[in-house]
Every structure is written in C-alpha cells, then in structure tokens.
Amino acid sequence: MDIKNYHDFAVKVAKKAGKILLDYYQTNIKINYKGGDKRNLVTEVDMMSEKYIVDEIKKKFPDHCFLAEESGDCGIKPSDYKWVIDPIDGTTNYAHGYNFYAVSIALMHKNEVLTGVIYAPMLKELFHAGKGMGAFLNNKPLRVSKAENLETSLLATGFNQNEHGRNIPIFQYILPKAQGIRRAGSAALDMAYTAAGRLDGYWEYAIYPWDIAAGVLLVEEAGGKITDLEGKPLKLDQPDIMTVLASNGKIHGEMVKDIAAGKG
C-alpha cells in the first residue's frame, strides 16, 4: 500500500481544486438551494470542484470507489478503497466572501483513513497527513495543543442546518466552562486547526464523512484523539450522519462528560 503515493496525489488534486475555488471567488456565481432550503447552499463552483476531483480519481485509480458530497458514491463498485470528498467545506462562507473554507479529500481503506488533505486557498494553508507519516501544514510538522482542561481551552463547534437544535443545549452548557468557543463554518478547517494546536477541541452533533474524514487523520497524526460524542470509536465507513469529537487528547474525557451533561 503506497501511502506516500496516495498522499502526493491528494495534495496535487486538492491544490488544483483550490485554484478553481479562487478563480471564481467573489464573482457572480450561480447558487442553488438543496431541497429549496435557503440555508443549504450549493454553488456551481462546488459542482466544478467536485467534478474535477472525481474525474482525476477515476483516471488515476479506476478501481477505487468514492463518496462525494454533491454526487454521492460510486455505486456497486466493490473496492475497499474509497475517496471521500468535500469539494468546498464552508460553502456558505464561500458564497459570502468569508475566507474560511477549504477543499477536503481523504482516502479510506475500510474504516481507516490513509491520507487526508485540507486546503484553504484564501488562507494559503495546506494541511496534509498520511497514515504513519505525520501531519503537516505547508510541509511543517503539526502537533496538537497541550491544554489540560476546558478552562484554558479554545473550542469550536458547528450546527448542521437541520439538526442545530440538538447542539444548542450542549453549546450553552460548555460555553461558560471554556475559554471560548468558535463557530467559523468549516468542519474540515476546525479539525485541521485542532491538529495544528490552534484549537484544543472541536465537536459537532450531526456531521457527514466528507466533512471530517481528512480531519480525522490530521488530528490523529498530530497526536490528538477522535471519537463520537459519547467517547466511542468513530465509524467513518458509512454514508450516514454521525457525531464527532476531536481534541488534543488531554481534554477529551472532560469534553465527553460535559457534552453528556449538556445533552441532559
């Protein structure tokens, strides 16, 4: 299994997809609303970025499967290798000219992530990891933070369009316990920032594999911990909605406890 080869391919493709995002950024692009819901945007640039990434994968790894946010999966193709793609994570930010958005690409083998790349083109930051290779930001090694408790922690979360009500009591419970909580609008970057030690922890109540697959490996390779909100192992290898908790490891237990208490 040539992880370095997969990693380098994902880096190359993420950079080119990021260039597509930049080329159309703050231009007059067409925006559609999934299911007519004005809070659930998809732009023509999401579609362009995704088509580019999927076409490159099909050319380079024709036997591999994929799961992409806008076009679904590769059908019945029986492969244990699956590319998991979010062509723009943070589409609402992208559409509003708010620079916190990224391309996210991961390769999974069964439930294990082999490579994960998150590229934020406006921030000029490429977060990349390979299983056993470490996690990097623009080729410099990353390490999670050393915060020991919530009191000294900066956290992040997000609110899924349809499920935000379930996260609000948790948010309310944790807010006075932490140093601060950010809601910047890109799960992929929230995880990359956790890997980089800029955030000490991140959680989300309702999230999909394409939002977090690359981030999972980045956090793990940077020495952090990933579970679901109950502290149980994450089952990424399924197309359904799930919960996620990422941290530097040291505050993980406290977060699991407080999330349970906040949920009530």
Per CB under 6 A, residues contacting ligand IPD are 86, 89-92, 158-160, 185-187, 204, 207, 211
Residue 49 vs 145, nearer CB to Ca ion: 49
Residue 160 vs 227, nearer CB to ligand IPD: 160
Indicate which of ligand IPD, Ca ion, none lies near residue 259 (CB less than 5 to 8 Å, by partner kind): none
Q: Are 211 and 116 in contact (CB under 8 A)?
A: no
CB of 43: closest distance to ligand IPD in angstroms?
A: 10
CB of 1: closest distance to ligand IPD in angstroms?
A: 29
Q: At what angle do helices 3-24 and 44-60 cross, to 10 degrees?
A: 150
Residue 42 vs 256, nearer CB to Ca ion: 42
Binning the chain into helix, strand and coil, the percentages to the nearest 5 are 35, 30, 35
Strands 201-207 vs 154-158: parallel, antiparallel or unpaired: parallel
- Please state the φ and ψ torsions of residue 41, each to the nearest 5 degrees: -85, 150
Under rule CB under 5 A, residue 89 binds Ca ion: yes
Stretch that binds Ca ion, among 31-39, 89-97, 199-207, 234-242 (CB under 5 A): 89-97
- What is the dihedral sign for C-alpha 255, 261, 262, 264? positive
Indicate which of ligand IPD, Ca ion, none lies near residue 220 (CB less than 5 to 8 Å, by partner kind): none
Residue 40 vs 79, nearer CB to ligand IPD: 40
Q: Cβ neighbours of residue 225 under 8 Å, at least 6 residues apart?
A: 219, 246, 247, 248, 249, 252
Q: How many of the chain's residues bind Ca ion (CB under 5 A)?
A: 5
